[in-house]
Structure 1
Amino acid sequence: MAEPYETERNNGVHEGSKGTHQREETLYSVLHHLTTSIIYPDHNKAAKPLLNRIKHSLSENGPLLRDASRNTGKNVLLWTRRGTPFRALLVISVGTITLLTLTGLLVFTLFFLAATVNAIVISLLMSLAAAGGFLALFFAFVTAIYIGALSIAVFVISAATISAIIAVLIATGWIGFFLAVWLATKKSVGLAKHSLSFTGSALSNYTSARHAHRYQELDKVSD
């Protein structure tokens, strides 16, 4: 039976029976392999529990994230440099929106973790104070306050994130509009300069030819 071509995947290097070749890992390929190895495991191998699949996938693809992020950033930078200013504006706007979204998600996650820890502590205190009705009622009110604060935090963080994204989109639209006007004006001025230069050159050639023809006629008359 013929051996498979690729037998090992380590830090972007694939080794096979025909030799070793280098393949540049990107962030998309690493994340795709990370998720597919967890959700859709290899059926040819023995089935593993979910936690073992997650641990194996993270240990295999985790070290590749740094190089993949660097390669993806390099590819995006090269793609941006090869394009027009509108492409750079698109990259900046998408990057800003992604950063705002991740920041809002991070803030909500931190607040949620803090509220969860507080709720656990309050639940423990409620269980300890189950004999006292007043303390249990007090802790129930505190729990309700934390739940309300969490709901308000979700609303505020979501509204702030969405507002920031809308502001970025509006600013990007105006910047794109002024950039388009500037580029159109620049091309129009360049075209006008070229037309004036061409017209001046044609007039200069016509004047020179006319003077030469006139001098020839004067020479003939004098002869």
Structure 2
Amino acid sequence: MKDKSFRNTKQKLKTAKGRKIGSINWLQRHINDPYVNLCKKKGYRSRAAFKLLEIDEKFKILSNAKSIIDLGAAPGGWLQIAKEKANKAKIIGIDLKEIEPVEGVLLIEGDFLELIDNNEFQGALPDKVDVVLSDMAANACGDRQIDHLRLVELVGFALEFAVKKLNKGGCFVAKLLKGKEEKFLLDEAKKHFQTVKYFKPDASYDDSSEVYLIALKFKNQQAENL
């Protein structure tokens, strides 16, 4: 990810009469997005794959992992990176949406929040894992504060799940939208991990409030209610 020379090419979008300005701007950015274009060349399913690549490049969370769970895994970009970086690991992807198969990866379709207390779901998982990833996103309503609160709640459940499932020394990574309430998650994560910080990959849009919560070296304490 250190070579960013691919960023320099741009295309101009030809617009049709009647098309809304917001739609034009989104399409223009999408066409000129270097990560979208690089996705096609690399065969990745989403530009989000490059976010995990950057996270792993900086924090080295995948290469030594023997078991990885990816929450909100569709369309599978993070699963592809996990498979590349930890080829021999047991990798499990979970999402509401159907995910196109990834060789050597176990896929579970369902609502993570409903599956948590499902015995069949729990039986499909290892007792303990080394990495829990969450690129989950709550349904957006367009109000940044509400979207922030919904994602904080969702990540809170993912953190609680990670605390119960991680091996000592394990890692937890989750997408957040910056706002007033994320400090709650930071404080909770600090109770269970030696190192906790925020990281914004270059692949995240500059005008987005998106950041990633990086929690490293799980202390293997008795799981507490969050």
Q: Tell me the TM-score normalised to structure 2 length.
A: 0.23
The structure in which a higher percent of residues are strand is 2
Q: Tell me the TM-score normalised to structure 1 length.
A: 0.23
Larger of the two Rg values belongs to structure: 1
Identify which of structures 1 and 2 has the higher relative contact order when contacts are C-alpha pairs closer than 8 Å and 6+ apart. 2
